Structure 1
Amino acid sequence: MGTPSQAVQVCEAILRSDLEYNQAHKILPSVNRVIERMLARRNELSDAYEELHASLSHRHRALEAFFDVFTSTPMAWSPEKMSKARHARKELIDINTRIAAVAEDLAQLLTRRDEIKETSGFSCETFYHALDALELAAESEGNYLFEWHVKEGLDALRYQYDLKYWPPLSAVVEAIGEDARNAEVHAQDPATASATESRRPGLSDFLKAYFTRVKDYSISAHGFIPNDFSVSDNTLASLVNCALDLDVDKLIDSDFVKRFRQRERER
């Protein structure tokens, strides 16, 4: 093998610097694995490095930012992670639906219990005040901060205002159910939102997350990557294949990236 070109040397120097920093501070092992793969597979990425260097060498901070974005994206937005994220979203929706249904049933039971206690000759020693439940929950959890800083103030309010000023337990439970019923499940960051917006999971999820993160690091978003920055389909395919360590039968090519870009433009 000959001496690597200046472009390859510059790009790999950035990657090595990031790797050394992470290893010295014992952080980001997932990112480190991506960097190690990229350094080990120079032959596959030399053309990509040439293109990236030609586009960003006049903005060294932009080249550093690109590699920071690209090597960290698989850590949270790999196809496997996005598959889990989709499952978590579905589970969260299902849980809220179940909470709403259970809360409705429980509220009805609490209301009926109060009716029986008030109209029959029987009673039971159960909560009659919403604060009773809060205090027992704090005690059971061993929440000393509640005991030291909150309980005294709540007790003062409890005795200052009689029961008619407070919602019954059933109403509190109904509110919990209503809150769950009306909850809108959403992604906590733009990359996850874009990567999970399609109906079917796939490698396109990763590409969506990548493009969103590049935009988040652009100059218009107070980053360093030029707003008009773009890489060719070939370069992006090579980078993704290496970063995700895809099996031979799952490798993507420039046509895959081209079709992805076309679908995104049509959307």
Structure 2
Amino acid sequence: MGLKKDNPTVFCKGFIEWELKTYQEEKIWMSYWPVMKRMLDRADELVQVFHELIEAFGYSDTLEGYPPQNQYLWLTLEHIWTSQDYCRKDVKQARNDFKELNRLQEEMIELSEQLAGALRRETELYERTGFNKADYQSITDMVELASENNYLYNSYLSKPLKSLAIQYDWKYWPSRAAIVEVISTFERAQPAPAHLDISDQVIQGRTSDIKDFVLAFDQKFDDSVGLPKDFRFSKNGFLFGG
């Protein structure tokens, strides 16, 4: 890139300018352009940040040296301008989604157990009373009915499944109640939902703009995304110039 290597601010600013120009020419990552422009406008306020980056990784870029060391400075700068993704609005929405997912999981567990119980009770009543049901639904009947609009199922699976249903009577198949009940079994075994970008600490912690941002920002260094795992900005650097 031909960047000057005698001043951390000049070097990092030149790096950001080069990346921004590339994004603009290729018309990609447009949502990050304003952040990158603000970083350039506030370069004098980001002196501490740039100094810590150069101190940690040297005057390196992707066209020199060897990976992964030559990519750390670029990836960390990129992490800064993409960190707008950790805004309070996104975290709040993620927390609401997390609560809803947990609530739905609890509902599915409860409803599947209730339905399984109702199906078993129905079977018991028909077996010991004088009542008769016009028709009985097997597991293969359920699959057929659920897949009636599925072209691939009807083309490749329907005939073999019907053949198996004829070959093996109801004793070989699970009951409707057993099938419904395994929904509950499955859901109970699932761990808490995990967000792809926001850490569990942020999702499940108390609301705090700064704390949420710090936790989410630092978490990325621990994730497998190419960032240096042992790097952290100092408290002064983390304020990004205040």
TM exceeding 0.5? yes
Q: Could you say if the C-alpha distance between residues 124 and 112 of structure 1 is closer, same or farther in structure 2, counting changes exceeding 3 Å?
A: farther
Where do 4+ consecutive residues of structure 1 move more than 4 Å?
188-191
In the alignment, what sits opposite 2:182?
175
- Out of 160, 166, 172, the residue aligned to residue 165 of structure 1 is 172
Is 1:151 the counterpart of 2:158? The answer is yes
Structure 1 residue 24, shift from structure 2 partner: 4.1
Which amino acid in structure 1 is aligned with residue 51 of structure 2?
Answer: E
Q: Please give the alpha-carbon distance, in whole angstroms, between the structure 1 residues aligned to 2:40 and 2:48.
A: 14
Q: 2:72–2:227: 8 Å Cα contact kept in structure 1?
A: yes
Q: Please give the alpha-carbon distance, in whole angstroms, between the structure 2 residues aligned to 1:136 and 1:18.
A: 55
Structure 1 residue 201, shift from structure 2 partner: 4.2
In the alignment, what sits opposite 1:99?
108
Q: Could you say if the C-alpha distance between residues 90 and 224 of structure 1 is closer, same or farther in structure 2, counting changes exceeding 3 Å?
A: closer
Relative to its length, the structure with more helix (as a share) is: 1
Q: Please give the alpha-carbon distance, in whole angstroms, between the structure 2 residues aligned to 1:173 and 1:224.
A: 44
Q: Secondary structure at the match of 1:99?
A: helix
Structure 1 residue 50, shift from structure 2 partner: 3.4
In the alignment, what sits opposite 1:244?
none
Give deviations 1:108-137, integer Å, cap 9, x for gaps: 222233344443334244x52112222222
Counting only pairs closer than 5 Å after superposition, residues 105-254 of structure 1 correspond to structure 2 as 105-118=114-127, 119-125=129-135, 128-139=137-148, 142-189=149-196, 191-216=198-223, 223=226, 225=228, 228-238=230-240
Is 1:63 the counterpart of 2:68? The answer is no
Counting only pairs closer than 5 Å after superposition, residues 49-60 of structure 1 correspond to structure 2 as 49-60=50-61
Q: 1:190–1:212: 8 Å Cα contact kept in structure 2?
A: no
Q: Could you say if the C-alpha distance between residues 106 and 45 of structure 1 is closer, same or farther in structure 2, counting changes exceeding 3 Å?
A: same
How many correspondences in the alignment? 227
Q: Please give the alpha-carbon distance, in whole angstroms, between the structure 1 residues aligned to 2:55 and 2:191.
A: 44
Which amino acid in structure 2 is aligned with residue 55 of structure 1?
Answer: A
Which amino acid in structure 1 is aligned with residue 84 of structure 2?
Answer: P
Is 1:35 the counterpart of 2:36? The answer is yes
Q: Could you say if the C-alpha distance between residues 149 and 55 of structure 1 is closer, same or farther in structure 2, counting changes exceeding 3 Å?
A: same
Report sequence identity in percent.
27
Q: 2:220–2:227: 8 Å Cα contact kept in structure 1?
A: no
Q: Please give the alpha-carbon distance, in whole angstroms, between the structure 1 residues aligned to 2:59 and 2:211.
A: 30
Q: Secondary structure at the match of 1:187?
A: coil
Structure 1 residue 35, shift from structure 2 partner: 1.6
Structure 1 residue 16, shift from structure 2 partner: 2.9
Q: Please give the alpha-carbon distance, in whole angstroms, between the structure 2 residues aligned to 1:7 and 1:80.
A: 33
Q: 1:99–1:177: 8 Å Cα contact kept in structure 2?
A: yes
List alignment gaps of at least 5 residues for structure 1.
Answer: 240-252, 254-267
Q: Please give the alpha-carbon distance, in whole angstroms, between the structure 2 residues aligned to 1:12 and 1:146.
A: 57
Q: 2:102–2:192: 8 Å Cα contact kept in structure 1?
A: yes
More displaced stretch, 22-31 vs 179-188? 22-31
Q: Please give the alpha-carbon distance, in whole angstroms, between the structure 1 residues aligned to 2:237 and 2:217.
A: 14
Which amino acid in structure 1 is aligned with residue 10 of structure 2?
Answer: Q
